Structure 1
Amino acid sequence: MAAPSAKKAFALRLDPEVHKAIERLAAAELRSANAEIEMLLREALSARGIEVKRTPPPRRGRPPKAE
């Protein structure tokens, strides 16, 4: 069973035209729409002087062998 995600999930209602624009931008940046929205939010917060620390990425691969 997969570990629970550390990301917060919530419903977001967007104007369809805004969503289309985000999808186009995400495709151009080779990101998902969700990742693009997160990047846009981080940029907007940074522009207002609010820095948000990034959470460490999940560890990938197999755990080290116990000796």
Structure 2
Amino acid sequence: MPAQSKKAFALRLDPALYAAIERLAADELRSANAEIEILLREALGRRGMSVKQSEAPKRGRPPKEES
């Protein structure tokens, strides 16, 4: 498991709310999960709680080590 994994949990939403999130996510070219995360960050920011983005795990092949 990567060192920087995301917290997984069950989230029960009203189907109409989830459909609206899916439409918004499609308009923004994001997944519904990414859209929910953005909406939560925006809502927390409006309430004065800033949450910094965690450093994403690096993707691809690691750089070659110089000897």
Deviations for 1:9-62, whole angstroms, at most 9, x for unmatched residues? 000000000000000000000000000000000000000000001101111221
TM-score (norm 2): 0.88
Does 51-60 or 40-49 show the bigger shift? Answer: 51-60
Q: Which has the higher contact order (CA 8 A, sep 6+)?
A: 2
Instruction: Confirm whether residue 49 of structure 1 aligns to residue 51 of structure 2.
Output: no
CA RMSD, 1 decimal: 1.5
Distance 1:48 1:7 in 2: 23
Aligned to 2:21: 22
Name the count of aligned residue pairs. 66
Separation of aligned partners in 2, 1:47 and 1:7 = 23
Query: In the aligned structure 2, how far is the partner of 1:19 from the partner of 1:31?
Result: 14
Q: Which 4+ stretches in 1 moved above 3 angstroms?
A: 2-5
Q: Structure 1: 5+ residue runs without aligned partners? A: none
**Cα distance between partner residues in 2 of 1:4 and 1:12:** 23
Q: Structure 1: how far apart are the matches of 2:36 and 2:63? A: 35
TM-score normalised according to structure 1 size = 0.88
Structure 2 residue runs without a partner (length 5+) = none
